């Protein structure tokens, strides 16, 4: 028999680790159309049954006020899983029980899981399972995802619950509220014949926007206005919950807990922010410096392989395709692998230990003025290393609006691949104050990212206001198993989704360069495209060679330098000389400004596509190109006044 199970719970109750414990490696990120929120599914066979487990996004309620809540609710409402497992945190069960009461209104077969029972026991907390079960009228399982305790019980419980009859266990509100609910429910049933009429009635009284809209044609106003009993209902549910909790849990002692102690230092008035910056620097250093030798080794191996192939097979189209196209493409993808895995490893540690929400908390005020939250600050910082991991790190920003804004703005932050271009241009045209020029570009890139997020918030998401609520979970030592799984799953996702795109695009680029005449780059299709592009770029005074270099730069920004070399067919001193005739200083500066802001490289675009979908990748191309154009034009005009 196949049993479909849904996991629900508040954020940070250890839902993901429980999911990992239940499914192990047999899991995948469910591809839900139009959904940017990550939903995972996994399979487990247990005592002859096949369990399909869906890990729903963490929510506090089923009121569809955020996307997460809507996804979780629609799943429960329309896909009706056989068993709903509601996970509550043993150390603060109230919010979890609140969610359970809401889910029970849907007349689902529910199981309450009280997780982190080991931590509760450590703190001298005793949870009475029978008492809880008696009051809530649902089976209760005590688990610890960390130690694996109670996982088998839970699996048994799922199997036995799935075969029980669907029963109505409803929480009765106070007489007055209950009367209103029943009146409404009767009306709803009579007018639309909706099965879950009681649920709709409650949601209507709670002012759920979707339900209110759906029921807008019905004549319900005579009984109650939508949202009439919003806080009354919440109040009555929590009163009930507090009663239950009082009966089934034995006292907690009150001393400065471990988490409070750590928080005292890490969110300290004076050193909180410096500590965050220092930790970010260390993380940055680890992800981009420490593992760099590994990246270099992989890249070196592949270019070595390419040379070997050329030597073995001799010149020719097939050789060039294998050596420059395929091996080059694979090498380009693999060069990212160490950085990406290192980054996810560190992000995993920060997320698992509970530091990540603190970092967001500490930096929030800074980002709030840009209509972002502290969570996205880190992505912007990572952007200085490479846009790809920076875009990937936006995963986990709970607010969709904010995530999209961050993804579209992060590529403006000047990544390390753009540095060679700045250095080349600066050394030729601004040899006296190279440092100042390069530094000014970096400052400009930060401003561009900031302006971009402001602009996007004002236009694309005008009038939408997200509420920033973070829960600060207890600190805990990250478990190696979870960490490895986290790193592997996210790294794999990148390799499969973005890797293929990077690979294919480098093949295409090879073809554009190779045909029709492999010996003369200036006649290649790529150069012809460059000539076409230069028509658009004429107001900026970029000629066809600069345009071609920019076109190639879309593959990876550092290629711009080598493209100049190929186009002029020289290198070193002569290249410098040739280039110095290509631009005047103003054009040179506007050129590097353009390089800073224009279209993200293929790898970044591929990542954006795999994270947010094709639509946003296209938007990113158009958006960054226009931004670069405007900026470069501004430099031209301002420079024109002075020059």
Partner 1 sequence: MAMSLSDVPVGFEAKIISVPDDDVGSRLLSMGFVPGNSVKVISCAPLGDPRVYMVMGKMVTLRNDEAKRILVSVENGMEPLSNVTDGIWRVVHLVGGRNFREKLRSMGIDIGSTVKIVSKGVVETNRGVFRIGLGMARRIFLRRDDA
Partner 2 sequence: MKFLLLFEWLTAFSLFLLMIKGETMLAFCVLIFSFIYLFGLLESRKDPQRIRAHAMVGGIMFFVVAALTFLNDLARLELKFNLSRALLILLGVIGLIQARAVRKHFK
Which residues of this protein are in contact with partner 2, per CB under 8 A?
123, 253, 255-258, 261-262, 264-266, 268, 270-271, 274-275, 277-279, 281-282, 285-286, 289-294
Distance, CA of 149 to CA of 140 (rounded, Å):
14
Residue 128: name its binding partner from partner 1, partner 2, none (Cβ under 5 to 8 Å by kind): none
Judge residue 184's burial from the number of C-beta atoms within 10 Å of its C-beta, 0-12 exposed, 13-18 middle, 19 or more buried: buried
What element of type H or E holds 26? none
Q: State the binding string over 272-301 for partner 1 (x if CB under 8 A, else -).
A: xx----------------------------
User: Which residue from 26, 79, 179, 365 is in contact with partner 1, where contact means CB under 8 A?
Assistant: 365
Q: How far is the CB of 406 from partner 1 (least distance, A)?
A: 18
In the complex, minimum distance from the CB of residue 292 to partner 2, in angstroms, rounded to a whole number:
8
Residue 468 binding: pick among partner 2, partner 1, none (C-beta 5-8 Å cut-off by kind): partner 1
Q: How far is the CB of 83 from partner 1 (least distance, A)?
A: 23
Identify which of 596, 581, 594 has the alpha carbon closest to the alpha carbon of residue 533: 594
Structure tokens at 232: 């009354």
- Report how many residues bind partner 1 under the rule CB under 8 A: 45
Question: Which among 213, 423, 340 is positioned nearest to 610, based on CA atoms?
Answer: 340
List the one residue from 47, 221, 246, 269 that touches partner 1 (CB under 8 A).
Answer: 269
Say how far apart CA 591 and CA 585 lie, in whole Å: 10
Determine, following the binding rule CB under 8 A, whether residue 66 of this chain makes contact with partner 1: yes
Report in angstroms how near the CB of residue 107 gets to partner 1 at its nearest.
Answer: 20
Among 4, 129, 189, 230, binds partner 1 (CB under 8 A): 230
Task: Print burial letters for 531-540: b (CB count within 10 Å at least 16), e (below 16).
Answer: bebbeebeeb
* Contact yes or no for 398/367 (Cβ under 8 A): no
**469 is in the binding site of which of partner 2, partner 1, none (Cβ under 5 to 8 A by kind)?**
partner 1
Please state, in angstroms and rounded to a whole number, the distance separating the CA atoms of residues 15 and 90: 13
612's torsion region: left (phi>0), alpha (psi -120 to 50) or beta?
alpha
Q: Does 67 bind partner 1 (CB under 8 A)?
A: no
Which CB atom, from 371 or from 609, has the smaller least distance to partner 1? 371
Among 362, 378, 391, 485, interactor with partner 1 by CB under 8 A: 362
Q: Contact with partner 1 (CB under 8 A): which of 38, 74, 107, 471?
A: 471
**Residues with Cβ < 8 Å from 255, sequence gap 6 or more?**
none
Specify the residue, 36 or 292, whose C-beta has the smaller distance to partner 2: 292
- 458, interface contact from partner 1, partner 2, none, CB < 5-8 Å by kind: none
Q: CA quadruple 86, 30, 489, 469: dihedral positive or negative? A: negative
Q: Give me the residues paired with residue 51 across strands.
A: 3, 44
Residue 285 interface partner, choices partner 2, partner 1, none, CB cut-off 5-8 Å depending on type: partner 2
Q: Distance (Å, rounded) from C-alpha 210 to C-alpha 423?
A: 55
Scanning 48-56, 359-367, 378-386, 565-573 for contacts with partner 1 by CB under 8 A, the matching segment is 359-367
Among 270, 459, 519, 641, binds partner 1 (CB under 8 A): 270
Min dist. Cβ of residue 362 to partner 1 (A): 6
User: What is the spatial distance between Cα 40 and Cα 71, in angstroms, rounded to a whole number?
Assistant: 12
Q: State the minimum distance, in angstroms, from the CB of residue 443 to partner 1.
A: 22
Please give the Cα distance from 120 to 344 (Å, whole number).
Answer: 30
Q: How far is the CB of 262 from partner 2 (least distance, A)?
A: 6
Q: Does 468 bind partner 1 (CB under 8 A)?
A: yes
Binding at 318: pick from partner 2, partner 1, none (beta carbon under 5-8 Å per type): none
Shortest reach from residue 353's CB to partner 2, in Å: 10
DSSP secondary structure string, 227-292? TTTHHHHHHHHHHHHHHHHHHHB-----S--HHHHHHHHHT-TTTHHHHHHHHHHHHHHIIIIITH
Q: Cβ 466 to partner 1, closest distance in Å? A: 9
489 binds, among partner 2, partner 1, none (CB under 5 to 8 A by kind): none
Among 26, 123, 268, 615, the residue binding partner 1 under the rule CB under 8 A is: 268
> Taking the CA atoms of the chain, what radius of gyration do you get in angstroms?
29
Which region, judged by CB under 8 A, interacts with partner 1, from 148-156, 191-199, 435-443, 468-476? 468-476
Whole-number Å distance between alpha carbons of 531 and 473: 56
Contact of 602 with 506, CB cutoff 8 Å: yes
Query: At its nearest, how many Å lie between partner 2 and the CB of residue 413?
Result: 18
Restricting to residues 70-109, name those near partner 1 by CB under 8 A.
91-95, 98-99
Q: Which stretch binds partner 1 (CB under 8 A): 55-63, 295-303, 306-314, 531-539?
A: 55-63
Judged by beta carbon distances under 5 to 8 A according to partner kind, the member of partner 2, partner 1, none in contact with residue 595 is: none
For 87, list phi and psi in degrees, rounded to 5. -105, 130
DSSP label of 125: -
The pair of structure tokens assigned to 633 is 């034009």
How far is Cα 100 from Cα 10, in angstroms, rounded to an integer? 10
Length of the chain (residues): 643
Distance CA 328, CA 335 (A): 10
Q: Applying CB under 8 A, does 364 fall inside the site for partner 1?
A: yes
Looking at the Cβ atoms of 326 and 454, the one nearer to partner 1 is 454
CB of 263 to partner 1, least distance (A): 7
Nearer to partner 1 by C-beta: 91 or 537? 91
For the beta sheet containing 110-115, the strands, ordered from the edge strand earlier in sequence to the opposite edge, are 27-30, 39-46, 49-55, 2-9, 83-89, 110-115, 140-142
Q: How far is the CB of 277 from partner 2 (least distance, A)?
A: 8
Whether the ω angle into residue 516 lies within 30 degrees of 0, i.e. cis, is yes
Output the CA torsion 36→37→38→44 (10° steps): -120
256 touches, from partner 1, partner 2, none (C-beta below 5 to 8 Å by class): partner 2
Confirm or reject binding of residue 182 to partner 1 (CB under 8 A). no
The H or E element that residue 618 is part of is helix 614-642
Task: Give me the residues that bind partner 1 (CB under 8 A), please.
Answer: 60-61, 63, 65-66, 91-95, 98-99, 206-209, 227, 230-231, 234-235, 238, 259-260, 263-264, 267-270, 272-273, 357, 361-362, 364-366, 368, 467-472
């Amino acid at each position: 028999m196949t049993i479909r199970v849904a996991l629900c719970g508040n954020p940070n109750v250890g839902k993901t680790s429980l999911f990992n414990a239940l499914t192990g490696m047999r899991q995948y990120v469910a591809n839900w159309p139009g959904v940017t929120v990550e939903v995972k599914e996994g399979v487990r066979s247990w005592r002859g049954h096949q369990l399909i487990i869906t890990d729903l996004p963490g929510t506090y309620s089923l009121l569809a006020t955020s996307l997460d809540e809507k996804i979780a609710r629609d799943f429960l409402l329309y896909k009706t899983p056989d068993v709903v497992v509601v996970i509550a945190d043993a150390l603060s069960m109230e919010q979890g029980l609140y969610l359970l009461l809401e889910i029970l209104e849907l007349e689902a077969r529910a199981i309450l899981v009280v997780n982190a029972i080991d931590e509760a026991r450590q703190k001298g907390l005793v949870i009475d399972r029978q008492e809880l079960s008696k009051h809530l009228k649902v089976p209760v399982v005590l688990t610890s995802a960390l130690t694996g305790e109670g996982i088998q019980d839970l699996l048994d419980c799922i199997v036995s619950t799935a075969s029980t009859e669907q029963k109505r266990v409803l929480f009765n509100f106070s007489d007055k509220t209950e009367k209103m609910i029943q009146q409404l429910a009767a009306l709803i049933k009579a007018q639309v014949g909706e099965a879950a009429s009681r649920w709709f009635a409650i949601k209507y009284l709670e002012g759920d926007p979707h339900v209110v809209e759906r029921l807008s044609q019905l004549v319900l106003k005579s009984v109650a206005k939508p949202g009439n009993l919003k806080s009354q209902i919440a109040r009555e549910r929590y009163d009930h919950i507090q009663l239950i909790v009082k009966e089934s849990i034995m006292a907690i002692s009150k001393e400065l807990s471990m988490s409070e102690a750590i928080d005292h230092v890490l969110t300290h008035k004076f050193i909180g922010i410096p500590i965050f910056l220092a930790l970010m620097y260390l993380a940055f250093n680890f992800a981009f410096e420490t593992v760099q030798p590994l990246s270099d080794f992989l890249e070196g191996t592949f270019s070595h392989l390419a040379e070997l192939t050329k030597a073995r097979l001799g010149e020719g189209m097939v050789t060039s395709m294998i050596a420059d196209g395929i091996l080059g493409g694979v090498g380009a993808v693999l060069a990212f692998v160490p950085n990406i895995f290192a980054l996810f490893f560190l992000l995993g540690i920060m997320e698992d230990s509970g530091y990540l929400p603190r970092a967001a908390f500490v930096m929030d005020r800074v980002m709030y003025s840009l209509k972002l939250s502290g969570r996205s600050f880190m992505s912007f910082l990572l952007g200085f290393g490479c846009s790809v991991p920076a875009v990937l790190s936006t995963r986990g920003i709970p607010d969709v609006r904010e995530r999209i804004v961050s993804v579209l703005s992060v590529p403006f932050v000047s990544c390390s691949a753009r540095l060679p271009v700045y250095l080349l241009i600066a050394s030729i045209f601004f040899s006296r104050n190279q440092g100042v020029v390069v530094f000014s570009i970096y400052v400009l890139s930060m401003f561009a990212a900031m302006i971009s997020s402001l602009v996007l918030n004002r236009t694309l998401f005008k009038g939408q206001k997200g509420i920033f609520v973070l829960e600060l979970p207890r600190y805990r030592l990250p478990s190696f198993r979870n960490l490895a799984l986290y790193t592997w799953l996210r790294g794999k996702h990148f390799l499969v989704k973005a890797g293929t795109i990077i690979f294919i695009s480098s093949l295409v680029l090879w073809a554009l360069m190779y045909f029709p005449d492999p010996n003369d780059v200036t006649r290649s299709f790529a150069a012809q495209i460059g000539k076409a592009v230069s028509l658009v770029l004429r107001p900026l005074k970029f000629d066809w060679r600069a345009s071609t270099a920019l076109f190639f730069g879309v593959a990876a920004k550092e290629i711009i330098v080598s493209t100049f070399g190929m186009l002029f067919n020289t290198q070193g001193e002569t290249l410098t000389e040739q280039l110095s005739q290509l631009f005047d200083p103003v054009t040179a500066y506007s050129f590097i400004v353009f390089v800073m802001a224009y279209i993200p490289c293929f790898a970044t675009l591929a990542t954006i596509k795999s994270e947010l979908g094709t639509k946003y990748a296209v938007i990113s191309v158009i958006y960054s190109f226009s931004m670069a154009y405007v900026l470069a034009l501004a430099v031209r005009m301002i420079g024109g006044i002075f020059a």
